[in-house]
Structure 1
């Protein structure tokens, strides 16, 4: 699987280089046409606007691509990563280059329609200032997204809990963080929420906790020690999936008719299928306690 990913990454990087060379050839062709066929622009004004727009967009796009290739190569060489590894820094550069290319495309489009360059940039600066004032929350969300991308506190693949939601980080965009929970549902968390809510990143601890809370009626007469022993017994087939000496059963609250318990243990290696089986096994065992209560009551009767 790792070999397939490495091959895919190398092929994708080569494709990026080929696309860059193709764009460079087109740009050089446009520049040559501008200098050699300039007299045609007086006769066909639309042709002159088209060549100017293409020159502007392709030139800016090439500069952005060169900066992207240089920074990606430097970063991957520095960290000894595979080419085009899914990483926060790489993700952040991709987002920034996409935004810059979109801006330059819009500028080139306005040039095509005959806008003066100086007046155009002056108008764009005013429009950008107005947009920032009118969409402060949206802009703040984008800035928060970039901060998350270039930080090492939250990475792709991390298992996190944000408020009541928990799951694996699938993607980080300029608008939100995409999580996949245990039910394989996709949860979108706005970047502003990430900055204003306590985030628990279990992957940074290199561990994952499996926790189940439940209540038992006082009719269940076994002691907490006996209860813990029985739960440990049913988990013996999964001993290799549980960190040694991490299993614990705690009494959270003693109510009038019920006792509130919490069972918890650490999982050294993320394994979603094993986690589901262990959780189901524990829940079935806990539910069986209620059946025993009923049987005990019938026998006493």
Structure 2
């Protein structure tokens, strides 16, 4: 459609219909649209060729959601915006080159003012073209953990365990230590708890007891994947951490396993209710 419209505009430009002379603004609009649609159409064809090559090379499905394709689409959107601004200047009778030259100082001030947004956009493009983070990955950044739903030029959108949407700026993603659990092909589930020393529970006993509490979930837990770590021992209590390696990303089963572990820990804290 863009190609057909572009060719019609070129045809009108060459033949100069009479209403172009009577209504100069129509001729200006025609020229501005040519300036916009020409490079925009070329970029669209280039986008289709690159995506087609990428899908064929990696043998992906035509409708696949992928970081590389997402990055190409974002770049095309930025270029189309730039073409649109230039076309609008031409329609208004402004020379784009003279305009850019005359606002050099203003542009520098704008760049300083919006440096955080520019940094986020650059970081977003780097993330999109990187294979370290992908749509659908389950990651942990700082105190936030969730599944990547979308990567934009400004932020990364996560879905946490409570199905809340968490928006994390790209600058935070780019500058933070990130744990990508999807790249490990396993899911780690961790729970920290404290127990009074008066109970006399040893790490071996706790490990066996908690293994028994999640016995019905053996199909979802890696063999030998439940371990106990002693984090600290004080005068009255000991802090432990139970870590479970899961085979897949079944959110419902993960919640049930976490609940079973929490219940077992509560019973350990109150032996009289066992």
**TM band (smaller chain):** over 0.9
Unaligned runs of at least 5 residues, structure 1:
1-21, 297-301
In the alignment, which residue of structure 1 is the partner of 2:11? 32
In structure 1, which of residues 136, 147, 150 is the aligned counterpart of residue 115 of structure 2? Answer: 136
1-structure distance, mates of 2:226, 2:97: 68
Shift of 1:266: 0.8
In structure 1, which of residues 92, 102, 125 is the aligned counterpart of residue 81 of structure 2? Answer: 102
2-structure distance, mates of 1:261, 1:151: 37
2-structure distance, mates of 1:121, 1:39: 34
Change (3 A) 1:223 1:133: closer
Unaligned runs of at least 5 residues, structure 2:
none
1:64 and 2:23 matched: no
In the alignment, which residue of structure 1 is the partner of 2:53? 74
In the alignment, which residue of structure 1 is the partner of 2:253? 274
- Offset from partner CA, 1:122-148 (integer Å, 9 cap, x none): 457776544323322221221111111
2-structure distance, mates of 1:225, 1:219: 17
In structure 2, which of residues 67, 72, 75 is the aligned counterpart of residue 88 of structure 1? Answer: 67
1-structure distance, mates of 2:10, 2:106: 30
In structure 2, which of residues 7, 29, 54 is the aligned counterpart of residue 50 of structure 1? Answer: 29
Count of matched residue pairs: 274
2-structure distance, mates of 1:172, 1:202: 18
1-structure distance, mates of 2:94, 2:102: 10
1:201 and 2:180 matched: yes
1-structure distance, mates of 2:251, 2:103: 49
In the alignment, which residue of structure 2 is the partner of 1:14? none
Change (3 A) 1:42 1:122: farther
Shift of 1:99: 0.8
1:152 and 2:148 matched: no
TM (norm. structure 1) is 0.85
1:115 and 2:94 matched: yes
In the alignment, which residue of structure 2 is the partner of 1:226? 205
Change (3 A) 1:125 1:271: farther
Contact 2:222–2:246 (8 Å) recurs in 1: yes
- Offset from partner CA, 1:214-247 (integer Å, 9 cap, x none): 0112232443322222211121111010111121
Change (3 A) 1:52 1:24: same
Shift of 1:248: 0.7
2-structure distance, mates of 1:93, 1:123: 32
Residue correspondence of structure 1 range 285-300 to structure 2 within 5 A: 285-293=264-272
| Secondary structure at 1:174 match in 2 | coil
Change (3 A) 1:39 1:120: farther
Shift of 1:67: 1.0
1-structure distance, mates of 2:224, 2:65: 35
Shift of 1:66: 0.7
Contact 1:84–1:90 (8 Å) recurs in 2: no
Change (3 A) 1:118 1:41: farther
In the alignment, which residue of structure 1 is the partner of 2:163? 184
| Secondary structure at 1:110 match in 2 | helix
1-structure distance, mates of 2:236, 2:86: 71
